């Protein structure tokens, strides 16, 4: 999923103002530190479940939930993830907390469990909003179940009597792109617009990213023109998706013109922008460019991610092999 949608969902789940907590003591910071320092998955789960008995912990430390589930996912401890999340069902007192559990199942790639949790919450009768639906939707997307995303989009809104949010619309469009069903994605995009919903930049980005990622530059350009015509201003994500496509296609000079346009429009460069610039420098064998953009990236954002490292490793490896051959030939 794109960064903007992830941020929207995280904001809705974890940044809400907590309800007042009466006569509940805060969890001591040493207990939190002890939890996060655990190396044993089973001990981690035991300590987490113990801390989660405290309502202050549940209200104020939602991000620790994500941290614990992520660590268990990396350790491939799916049964322990189920143990953790199922233990939290007794504490569901509001839709936000219930939706966060659905979301976390999705982040662990356990969509069937997310759907089961969703159905149980719906059956309660007091949880029936787009928040819960969005997180089931996101769970399917995060688990790579792109076909299920579209089926849910077609099935549940009318069944539950809810109107899909902008996030849901964007996720459905992008899922169809992920499946390679570009005509269907465009048709759905048109349908959403015909239903009186003016697509925002997030919706356009979902379509742009999916089309550019799959090498369909001309189709992407048509969407770009449509976005401009609709009065929607491209943001950093829009430019990044187009930059990556141009650099991947070897159109370095065109990509650099687009980059200068991006800067002149006052858009902030993010990690993905620098990754595109580094990729373009590697493809054009521009060592000075690689050094320049890598240095700016590290100075601005710190340690690079895997997307940055992979083209750099290939670039350095190729140059090392060439130097070795030259020396052997000499």
Give the tens place of pLDDT for each residue, 279-298. Answer: 888 888 888 888 898 889 88
- For the entire predicted model, the pTM comes to 0.72
202-243 pLDDT, tens digit per residue, is: 889 988 998 998 888 999 999 999 999 999 999 999 999 999
Could you give the C-alpha distances from 292 to 257, 302, 317, in angstroms and in order? Answer: 17, 14, 19
Q: What is the DSSP string of 236-291?
A: HHHHHHHHHHHHHTT-HHHHHHHHHHHHHTTPPP-HHHHHHHHHHHHHTT-HHHHH
Residue 309 lies in a domain: yes
State residue 326's pLDDT score.
39
- 45 domain residue, yes or no: no
Q: Is 266 left (phi over 0), alpha (psi -120 to 50) or beta?
A: left
Report how far residue 129's alpha carbon sits from residue 264's, in angstroms, rounded to the nearest whole number: 41
Residue range of the domain that includes 309: 234-330
Please indicate, yes or no, if residue 330 is contained in any of the structural domains: yes
Instruction: Give the model's pLDDT for residue 131.
Output: 86
Position 61 in a domain = no
**Average pLDDT of the chain to the nearest whole number:** 84
- Specify if 209 maps to a domain: no
Structure tokens at 82: 């189920």
**Structural domains of the chain, count:** 1
Domain contains 269: yes
| pLDDT of the residue at 21 | 40
Identify the pLDDT of residue 9. Answer: 52
Tell whether 289 is covered by a domain.
Answer: yes
Report residues of the chain scoring pLDDT below 70: 1-24, 126-128, 303-330
Q: Output the pLDDT for position 19.
A: 44
């Amino acid at each position: 999923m794109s960064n903007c949608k992830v941020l929207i969902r995280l904001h809705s789940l974890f940044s809400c103002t907590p309800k007042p907590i009466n006569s509940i003591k805060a969890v001591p910071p040493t207990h939190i530190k002890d939890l996060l320092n655990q190396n044993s998955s089973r001990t981690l789960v035991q300590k987490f479940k113990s801390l989660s008995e405290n309502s202050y912990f549940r209200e104020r430390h939602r991000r620790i939930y994500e941290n614990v589930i992520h660590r268990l996912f990396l350790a491939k401890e799916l049964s322990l993830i189920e143990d953790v999340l199922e233990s939290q069902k007794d504490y569901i007192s509001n839709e936000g907390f219930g939706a966060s559990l659905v979301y976390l199942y999705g982040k662990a790639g356990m969509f069937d469990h997310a759907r089961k949790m969703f159905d149980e919450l719906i059956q309660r009768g007091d949880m029936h909003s787009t928040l819960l639906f969005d997180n089931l939707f996101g769970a399917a997307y995060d688990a790579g179940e792109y076909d299920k995303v579209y089926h849910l989009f077609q099935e549940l809104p009318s069944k539950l009597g809810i109107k899909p949010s902008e996030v849901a619309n964007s996720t459905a469009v992008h899922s169809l792109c992920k499946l390679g069903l570009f005509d269907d994605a465009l048709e759905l995009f048109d349908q959403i617009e015909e239903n009186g919903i003016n697509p925002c930049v997030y919706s356009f980005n979902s379509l742009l990213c999916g089309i550019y990622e799959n090498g369909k530059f001309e189709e992407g350009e048509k969407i770009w023109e449509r976005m401009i015509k609709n009065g929607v201003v491209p943001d950093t994500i829009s430019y990044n998706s187009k930059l990556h496509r141009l650099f991947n296609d070897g159109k370095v000079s065109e990509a650099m013109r687009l980059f200068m346009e991006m800067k002149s429009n006052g858009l902030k460069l993010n990690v993905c922008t620098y990754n595109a610039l580094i990729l373009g420098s590697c493809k054009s064998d521009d060592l000075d460019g690689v050094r320049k953009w890598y240095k700016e990236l590290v100075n601005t954002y710190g340690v690079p991610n895997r997307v940055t490292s992979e083209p750099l490793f290939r670039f350095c490896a190729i140059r090392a092999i060439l130097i070795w051959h030259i020396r052997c030939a000499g």
